[in-house]
Amino acid sequence: MDRFLHQRQAEGQGFAMVCGIDEAGRGPLAGPVSAAAVILPLDCEIDGLDDSKKLSELKREELFDVVIEKAISYGIGWASEREIDEHNILQATFLAMRRAVDAMQVTADYALVDGNCMPLLSIPGETIVKGDSKCACIAAASILAKVSRDRLLRELDKQYPEYGFAKHKGYGTKSHYEAIKKHGILPVHRKSFLKNLHEK
């Protein structure tokens, strides 16, 4: 598989700075949703680069540094728990993606976005279903988004050790639900995801 095919096609249409965009954290009960945008040099070789979900936490951490070193430019964007509750998770994810593009030091002129829903960006682009497995720049973005969010959740774990954020990263595990029932809903929880639970 040519994981630079879509980037090559976009560059063939005259776009010089093609970024891949992916998100992390749409499903959890707590914490923000993150997104990353990455411009890789065409045919850039990064050993082990893949969809972040297929990699171990240790491998993602290793690749995070390699991606940042080799990328022409990258940006990381966030949408908060409050914004998720206000706008819904899809619109909040789009907001994080726009912020990731805006955070890049080198401006992208075309976007390859993982999934089948195109966010409203300041640049043109296209969606690619399972893009994190098909496009190197989207895979790179998936790693930056996932590692950035996991690091944040480990910090939240220090603040709220009884909730186990370092382990479940905010996802709705049995232990997480039990912690919420025992200790209550936190400011970092997405209230719209917890409509069936009431604050203590």
- What are the tens digits of pLDDT across the range 108-159? 999 999 999 999 999 999 999 999 999 999 999 999 999 999 999 999 999 9
Tell me the Cα Rg of the chain: 17
pLDDT of residue 198: 55
Q: Note the Cα 96 to chain centre separation in Å.
A: 8
Mean pLDDT of 44-55: 90
User: Is-contact 165 156, C-beta < 8 A?
Assistant: yes
Q: pLDDT per residue over 163-174, tens digit each?
A: 999 999 999 999
3-state secondary structure of 121: coil
Mean pLDDT of the chain: 95
Alpha-carbon distance of 109 to 124, in angstroms, equals: 7
pLDDT of residue 126: 98
